[in-house]
Structure 1
Amino acid sequence: MKPVITAFDWVPPFAQGQVRDLRVRWALEEVGQSYDVRYLAQGAHKGPEHRALQPFGQVPTYEEGDLVLFESGAIVFHIAERFKGLLPPERDGRSRAVEWMFAALNSVEPPIMDHAIATIFEAGEPWSKARLPSVNARIDERLGELSRRLGDRDWLDGEFTAGDLLMVAVVRILEGDALLDPYPNLIAYVARGTARPAFRRALAAQIAGFTGEPPARFKEWAEKHKQAQGETA
């Protein structure tokens, strides 16, 4: 039985290639496991049918027989344990890979998402511009710490693992942003991760799934965001 994941059938252009089902698709591609996708229109993810699978009304979810999971990190962990290819065979190596999975989601991603909130989702709020310097400082601190630990290695702990998968997925949110410029080893790290054939297949599959129509409220939001960007330029 193939796993079934949920994904959106439409997101704004800036979010394409970033929705978290990509992380699950990538993990499945790395381990060579085929899967099916159930696409949701914008708004359907907040309905009772989807909330029965995902109480917070988000994507992705993962269904494998009677098992239903939510949260992309938990799903990637399950895939890494269920199939070979994303965790080292020895106990200590597996524990270090899991450590980096948690670090990606708990230490590195939160300030990066704060940046997205301040510059995209709530860019029109009066506090967003004033908050950016402190948000950027926290991102720089985390990137500096990660850069020093990675050093000149290709991956965080020897071979590519689920820890690298999630860390690359998180850091690539800043791909092309000046915040990454001081850290050429992280830029190269992201480039190595996104050059993997499994990532390229996962990304192509996600992009191909965006066939739906934007909701009417998006046009209003887009106009407000455009105005806010003009005011802060």
Structure 2
Amino acid sequence: MITLYAFGSCPDFAKGLTRDLRVRWALEEAGLPYETVLIDYAASRSSAHLELNPFGQVPAVQAAGLPTFESGAIVLQIAENSETLLPSHPGARAAAISWMFAALNSIEPMLLGLLDADIFHAREPWAKEMRAAMEARATKRLALLEAHLENREYVTGQFTAADLLMTTVLRMLRHTDLLKRFPSVSALKERCEARPAFQKALADQLSSLDEVIGAQAR
């Protein structure tokens, strides 16, 4: 049994965006059973959790007594045991892994700049001054992704863990209309969000937050 550690609460704007969704989705695609342990901020700083993730973050997983942290590393670990997420053909496998890292290293940092400006630091003067530049950076990177996706349903031609990670990254822009400028990118996101495994993972994540809120209210 795989144990997934995730936060039991988050701000409204972050519901459906927190990185444990990536792990839940990968586990659903791979057909692997798991249990979820919900923690709060205080527990994330406990010595027990720091053994799982030295930065006190989530998600983290434990399987067969071995901890793994960082959502990308966890998804890769899951994908290595799933033909759906990571094909066995050497060329297709190499492409999928490359695009997994591209989602996290080439796309996500550019989009996080907009989250910083629009949500996390919206009241800071620098955020208003820098927003145009941050949007330009995000737009430039999304344009390159759009060009790659032209005539492709998925980033490597077939659904893999690369599309899973890319979709969770693109979802960070849901407070903007930026993706409307990129029809192929938007179509990829919508196609992946329609997958039953994604719908199950999202519903379970949101349900777990609702259960915690209900318990606190009682």
TM-score, normalising length from structure 2? 0.93
Question: For the residues of structure 2 that align with 1:114 and 1:50, how far apart are their CA atoms?
Answer: 28
The residue type paired with residue 48 of structure 1 is S
Q: Offset of 1:175 from its aligned partner?
A: 3.0
User: Which residue is 2:126 aligned to?
Assistant: 127
Q: Offset of 1:46 from its aligned partner?
A: 2.5
Question: For the residues of structure 2 that align with 1:149 and 1:84, how far apart are their CA atoms?
Answer: 23
Give me the identity figure in percent.
44
SS at match of 1:62: strand
Gapped runs of 5+ residues in structure 1?
A: 214-233
Residues 46 and 126 from structure 1, CA distance in 2 versus in 1: closer, same or farther, beyond 3 angstroms?
Answer: farther
Deviates more, 1:169-178 or 1:74-83: 169-178
Q: Offset of 1:176 from its aligned partner?
A: 5.6
SS at match of 2:44: helix
Mapping of residues 65-214 of structure 1, within 5 Å = 65-175=64-174, 177-210=176-209, 211-213=211-213
User: Which residue is 2:62 aligned to?
Assistant: 63
Question: For the residues of structure 1 that align with 2:166 and 2:184, how far apart are their CA atoms?
Answer: 13
SS at match of 1:113: helix
Question: For the residues of structure 1 that align with 2:115 and 2:46, how far apart are their CA atoms?
Answer: 25
Q: Determine if contact 1:27/1:76 at 8 Å carries over to the other structure.
A: yes
Deviates more, 1:84-93 or 1:29-38: 84-93
User: Which residue is 2:42 aligned to?
Assistant: 43
User: Which residue is 1:224 aligned to?
Assistant: none
User: Which residue is 2:12 aligned to?
Assistant: 13
The residue type paired with residue 70 of structure 1 is F
1:178-217 per-position Cα deviation (integer Å, ceiling 9, x unaligned): 211211111111000000000000000000111335xxxx
1:3-25 per-position Cα deviation (integer Å, ceiling 9, x unaligned): 00111111111100001000000
Q: Offset of 1:156 from its aligned partner?
A: 1.1
Q: Determine if contact 1:41/1:212 at 8 Å carries over to the other structure.
A: no
Size of the aligned set, in residue pairs, is 212
TM-score, normalising length from structure 1? 0.88
Q: Determine if contact 1:175/1:187 at 8 Å carries over to the other structure.
A: no
Question: For the residues of structure 2 that align with 1:4 and 1:35, how far apart are their CA atoms?
Answer: 6
Deviates more, 1:139-148 or 1:81-90: 81-90
Runs of 4+ in 1 over 4 A off after TM superposition: none
